[in-house]
Amino acid sequence: MHTNHWLTRQPLFLSTGVAFFILSMLSIVGLFDAIDLAVMDWVYHSAPAFLTNAMTVITEFGSVELIAVMSILVLGLLLYQRRIRDMILFVAVSGGGLAVNLGLKFLFQRERPGELNMIDAFGIELAIPSYSYPSGHTMRAAILVLLIIYLLGTWVKRREQTRLVTTAGLLLLTLVAASRVLTGAHFPTDAVGAVLASVAFVSLCVRLYEQRWRKPS
């Protein structure tokens, strides 16, 4: 059956998808360059040390290693509850999101605020350039958070609990996105673009999932 979860609503993936496209096109022509550079100048020269230190910790919530651990825990819980279809959804959307992020990075090939880095995972550096737009850390965190919000929303029936989970998840996502900027790793538009792309992608996927797997018998 359909859950009518807010992530499955058609206007959400359409609006965020269009917003991502517009942001991308305007960024290409340099409309946001002044804002991006002004923010990065503040980060490099004026940001309080305590804020930078705090963001350095928070940004690890989007690291490959922590996302992998969290994903294994979620999959373990789904397996324990024998929610095989939800496991398939989780793996497909998580893996698909990584592919989408990598594809978008190579499509736009925006240089990072600092030196160009290579993609690394578990301490192994791959010979693949890590471009800036959209932020990979932010997309990984966003996709994981949104999937957890959706899955818990289909399990938990009490509205107060679902609101609490949603609020906490979106707060964490906001902090991770901000941390990528405040640690000097990404421009603001990289983080915003990553959030928009993630919401559009996850929303579309769970909507298609419900149409295929949760149709009334």
Helices and strands (H and E) in the chain: how many:
8, 2
Please indicate whether residue 189 or residue 116 has the higher confidence score (pLDDT): 189
Domain count, the chain: 1
Residue 118: phi and psi, rounded to 5, are -105, 150
Asked if the structure places residue 21 within a domain, the reply is yes
Cβ proximity of 133 and 27 under 8 Å: yes
Domain that holds residue 49: 6-213
| Structural domain contains residue 1 | no
pLDDT in tens, 136-187: 999 999 999 999 999 988 887 777 888 888 899 999 999 999 999 999 889 9
Q: Is residue 113 situated within a structural domain? A: yes
At residue 121, the 3 state secondary structure works out as strand
**In-domain check, residue 51:** yes
Determine, yes or no, domain membership for 163. yes
Identify which of 206, 212, 215 has the alpha carbon closest to the alpha carbon of residue 94. 206
Q: Is 132 a domain residue?
A: yes
Judge if pTM exceeds 0.75: yes
Q: Is residue 143 part of a domain?
A: yes
